[in-house]
C-alpha cells in the first residue's frame, strides 16, 4: 500500500505523453482533445505516427499545432513506436512518460491523480489508472492486474464489473497495462525500453516483469480515470484480419515471456496453464467460429515463439 502525496508535482516536473497512431486520426484526435482539456501544466504531447497512409500525420499536425508529431516511414509496431517517443522524452529531460493508447480519452484530473500516485513513493516505477469501457462508462476494463508465472495467466481486476468503489483502495499490482501507464524516466533508464521483438501484445507484461525484477513497484491509481474503446484501433486499422494478427502475436509473445523470464521449475505448470487457457481455449473458439486464419495463427505464433532467437532489449 502507498499513500498519495499532497504535493502538486505537475507544476514543476515535465511529463511527456506518448500517443501512437496508425491510420486512425479521428480517434486519435479525440484522445488528444481530452489531454488538452486536462488541468495539467508542463505536459508535452508527443504523437508518433507509425507510417500512416491516410494522411494522419499532416491532419493531426494542422489540427493540433501545440503538439509534437514524429512521423515514421513505416509501421514499427507498438513497442518500437512507443520507444521512439520515449527516446525523445528521455533526451529532452522529461521526468515522466505517459504511454496512452490512441483509442482512449481521459478525465480532466487524470494526470494530476497519476502524478500524485507515482510521487507518493520513489520505489514506484510505473502507475496505471482505473480504465472503463466507453460504451458502458461505469463498467470496468482494468483496475490493476496480476500475472502468474506459475500458470501463465493474467487477470484484470474488475474486468466487466460495475464500478462501485470496490477497487478504490487497491494499490500494488504485478502487471501494468500499456493502454495507459505513467512511467518514471529514471526507472526506464535502469530497466530499459520496451522489448521491440514483441512488436505488439504482451510487451507491457514483459516490461512489468523487468520492473519488478529491478525492485521497482507497480501501482494502481484508482482516482485516475480513462475510458477505452477496447480493440478499436486494431479492428479499424487491420480490418477483417485483425483477429488472426492478434492471435499470432498474443500466442508468440506469451511464449517469449516464458523463455525470457521463467525459472526452470516454473516451466511445467506454465506449459499446462498456458496450454489450457490459451492454446486449447482459443483453438476451440476459432473452430466454433470457423475462423480458420485465426486458428492457423495460433500455431504459427506458437512455433515462432519457440524457435525465434531472443533479441536484446532496446535501450
Q: Find the range with the poorest average confidence among 111-115, 203-207, 237-241, 268-272.
A: 237-241
Q: What is the CATH number of domain 9-234?
A: 3.90.550.60
Where b means 16+ CB within 10 Å and e means fewer, 266-282 reads: beeebbebbeeebbeeb
Residue 5: the pLDDT is 45
**How many Å apart are CA 15 and CA 11, to the nearest integer?**
10
Pick the closest to residue 196 from 68, 276, 314 (CA basis).
314
Pairing of strands 104-106, 180-184: unpaired
Arithmetic mean of pLDDT over the chain: 92
Residue 7: the pLDDT is 47
Residue 10: the pLDDT is 43
Average pLDDT over residues 60-82: 96
Residue 171: the pLDDT is 82
Residue 242: the pLDDT is 83
Instruction: Give residue-wise pLDDT tens across range 265-313.
Output: 999 999 999 999 999 999 999 999 999 999 999 999 999 999 999 987 7
Question: What is the 8-class DSSP label of residue 312?
Answer: P
- Residue ranges of domains in the chain: 9-234, 236-307
Average pLDDT over residues 137-155: 94
What pTM was estimated for this model as a whole? 0.92
pLDDT of 74 above 80: yes
Residue 230: the pLDDT is 83
Residue 277: the pLDDT is 93
Residues 6+ away with beta carbon under 8 Å from 299: none
pLDDT of 141 above 90: yes
Q: How confident is the model at residue 193 (pLDDT cuts 50, 70, 90)?
A: very high
In contact, 166 and 216? CB cutoff 8 Å: no
Pick the closest to residue 314 from 193, 197, 214, 219 (CA basis).
193
Residue 6: the pLDDT is 42
Share of the chain above pLDDT 70, in %: 92
Instruction: Give residue-wise pLDDT tens across range 21-54.
Output: 999 999 999 999 999 999 888 999 999 999 999 9
Please tell me the number of Cα atoms within 13 Å of 112 on its side-chain side.
Answer: 12
Q: How confident is the model at residue 240 (pLDDT cuts 50, 70, 90)?
A: low
Pick the closest to residue 79 from 253, 298, 307 (CA basis).
253
Residue 234: the pLDDT is 52
**How many Å apart are CA 197 and CA 78, to the nearest integer?**
10
Amino acid at each position: 500500500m502507498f499513500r498519495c502525496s499532497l504535493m502538486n508535482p505537475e507544476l514543476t516536473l515535465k511529463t511527456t505523453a506518448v500517443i501512437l497512431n496508425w491510420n486512425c486520426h479521428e480517434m486519435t484526435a479525440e484522445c488528444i482533445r481530452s489531454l488538452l482539456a486536462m488541468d495539467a501544466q508542463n505536459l508535452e504531447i508527443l504523437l508518433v505516427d507509425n507510417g500512416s497512409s491516410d494522411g494522419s500525420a499532416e491532419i493531426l499536425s494542422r489540427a493540433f499545432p501545440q503538439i509534437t508529431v514524429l512521423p515514421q516511414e513505416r509501421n514499427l509496431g507498438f513497442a518500437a513506436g512507443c520507444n521512439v517517443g520515449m527516446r525523445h522524452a528521455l533526451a529532452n529531460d522529461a521526468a515522466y512518460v505517459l504511454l496512452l493508447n490512441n483509442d482512449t480519452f481521459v478525465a480532466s484530473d487524470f494526470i494530476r491523480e497519476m502524478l500524485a500516485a507515482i510521487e507518493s513513493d520513489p520505489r514506484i516505477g510505473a502507475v496505471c489508472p482505473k480504465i472503463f469501457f466507453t460504451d458502458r462508462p461505469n463498467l470496468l476494463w482494468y483496475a490493476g492486474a496480476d500475472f502468474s508465472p506459475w500458470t501463465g495467466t493474467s487477470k484484470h481486476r474488475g474486468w466487466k464489473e460495475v464500478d462501485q468503489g470496490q477497487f478504490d483502495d487497491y494499490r500494488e499490482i504485478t502487471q501494468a497495462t500499456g493502454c495507459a501507464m505513467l512511467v518514471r524516466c529514471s526507472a526506464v533508464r535502469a530497466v530499459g525500453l520496451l522489448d521491440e521483438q514483441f512488436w505488439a501484445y504482451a510487451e507491457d507484461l514483459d516490461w512489468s516483469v523487468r520492473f519488478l525484477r529491478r525492485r521497482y513497484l507497480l501501482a494502481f491509481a484508482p482516482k485516475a480515470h480513462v475510458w477505452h474503446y477496447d480493440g478499436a484501433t486494431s479492428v479499424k486499422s487491420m480490418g477483417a484480419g485483425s483477429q488472426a494478427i492478434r492471435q499470432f502475436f498474443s500466442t508468440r509473445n506469451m511464449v517469449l515471456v516464458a523463455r525470457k523470464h521463467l525459472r526452470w521449475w516454473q516451466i511445467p505448470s506454465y506449459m499446462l496453464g498456458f496450454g489450457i487457457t490459451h492454446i486449447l481455449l482459443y483453438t476451440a473458439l476459432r473452430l466454433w467460429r470457423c475462423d480458420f486464419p485465426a486458428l492457423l495463427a495460433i500455431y504459427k505464433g506458437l512455433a515462432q515463439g519457440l524457435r525465434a532467437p531472443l533479441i536484446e532489449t532496446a535501450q
